[in-house]
Structure 1
Amino acid sequence: MLQQTTEQVLISLRPNLLDAFLSGEKCVELRRRAPKLQSGTLVWFYAKVPYGRVMAVAKLRDVTVETTAAIWEAYQACMGISKAEFDAYVSDIDTAAVMSFDTISPVAHPPGLQELRALEPGFQPPQFFRRMRPSKLLDRLSDSNPLASLPGCQH
């Protein structure tokens, strides 16, 4: 069971990006807007359909805001996306944010969307991120038995 003294949030990812995290190809998360999160926050990763499950948890190292050009230069090797995908994602903005993590751990018993909705009627995966409050849902995530941690980025 994970500590519940740390802030915890839930974010949604495309399945291929979660796979890239778990394979080590990706170790940072690019966001168009900077989430206001403290170092040490536990970040739960919900993989969108077809997975439709909370499949990993990471410990946030920091959130960096830079120009999109500076982000590509510094993080291109660990974003898990191509230059074309990056350019399409940031084409209409000048700055973006990068979330880097100390560790990421796959979840041994990933709860699916149906179970999440049973724990919290009306549950919807977040578009940006969602702060987790004490609840049956957070208890279930905390009891999901994260597996051995993969190292985070060295940025």
Structure 2
Amino acid sequence: MSKLLLISIKEKYVSRIISGSKTIELRKAQPKVKAGDTVIIYTTQPKKAVTAIATVKQIIKLSPQKMWERYENNLGITQNEFEDYYQNSSTAVGIELCSIIQLDSEILLSAIKMIHPRFTPPQTFKYLDKFQTFRDYKNLSN
């Protein structure tokens, strides 16, 4: 069964993902997803909205040094940013994204909270129940 992964990303990196200059989203922890799973991209402050969806192409798990050596042109960040992020880590996790679609209309956090008042965007990522998400969407559109 495929999963829905909700992931929080800073606006400058989301722009790079949408433009295609960033195809690998970096994390310190590996999400339990596989090729073909869906990623819902939540853009953090100041936008605070779901802005895009993508598909997991693959999960890459390497030492930070090897990640940079092999994929620096796909990471969408500077070497200094990369080194700062992984300074105390022995493992770098990359979520390679494909089939990236920018939503025609962003889904604002305030709109999500109308359906789920206790919803909070994840610090890094969280899993969603796609059947519950579909039911909520149907209820919103009725």
CA contact (8 A) 2:43 2:49 kept: yes
Measured on the aligned residues, the alpha-carbon RMSD in Å equals 1.9
Q: Which position in structure 2 is the counterpart of 1:37?
A: 33
Structure 1: runs of 5+ lacking an equivalent:
144-155
* SS of equivalent residue, structure 1 residue 109: strand
Alpha-carbon offset, residue 139 of structure 1: 4.8
* SS of equivalent residue, structure 2 residue 85: helix
CA contact (8 A) 2:37 2:55 kept: yes
Runs of 4+ in 1 over 6 A off after TM superposition: none
**Aligned partner of 1:93 among 89, 93, 104:** 89
Counterpart residue identity of residue 132, structure 1: L
Indicate the percent of aligned positions where both proteins have the same amino acid. Answer: 27
Matched, 1:135 2:132: yes
Counterparts of 1:4-153 in structure 2, within 5 Å, are 6-133=2-129, 134-136=131-133, 139-140=136-137
Closer, same or farther: CA 117–127 of 1 in aligned 2, 3 Å:
same
Is the deviation greater in 126-135 or in 47-56?
126-135
Counterpart Cα distance in 1 of 2:107 and 2:86: 31
Counterpart residue identity of residue 43, structure 2: A
Closer, same or farther: CA 139–9 of 1 in aligned 2, 3 Å:
farther
Counterpart Cα distance in 1 of 2:10 and 2:135: 22
Closer, same or farther: CA 37–25 of 1 in aligned 2, 3 Å:
same
- Higher fraction of helix: 2
Structure 2: runs of 5+ lacking an equivalent:
none
